[in-house]
Amino acid sequence: MNYSALKKFSMIDYPGKLCAVIFTRGCNLRCPFCHNPSLVLPEKYTELLSIEDLFAFLSTRIGKLDAVSITGGEPLLQDDIGEIIRKIKEMGFLVKIDTNGTHPEKLKVLIESSSPDYIAMDIKAYRDSFIKASGGFAGYDKMLESMEIVRASNSLYEFRTTIVKGIHSVKDIEKCIELIKPGESYFLQQFQSAETLNPDYRFAHGLDNEDIQFLQHKAMESGIKITIR
Domain ranges of the chain: 3-163
What confidence score (pLDDT) does residue 196 get? Answer: 96
CATH of domain 3-163: 3.20.20.70
What confidence score (pLDDT) does residue 114 get? Answer: 95
196 and 37 in contact (C-beta within 8 Å)?
Answer: yes
In sign, the C-alpha dihedral spanning 77, 157, 189, 214 is: positive
Phi, psi angle pair for 158, to nearest 5°: -145, 155
What confidence score (pLDDT) does residue 112 get? Answer: 96
The whole-model pTM stands at 0.96
What confidence score (pLDDT) does residue 225 get? Answer: 87
* C-alpha dist (Å) from residue 189 to 129, 160, 178, 222, 228: 17, 7, 17, 20, 6
| DSSP 8-state secondary structure symbol assigned to residue 121 | E
pLDDT lower than 70: segments of the chain = none
DSSP reduced 3-state for 99: strand
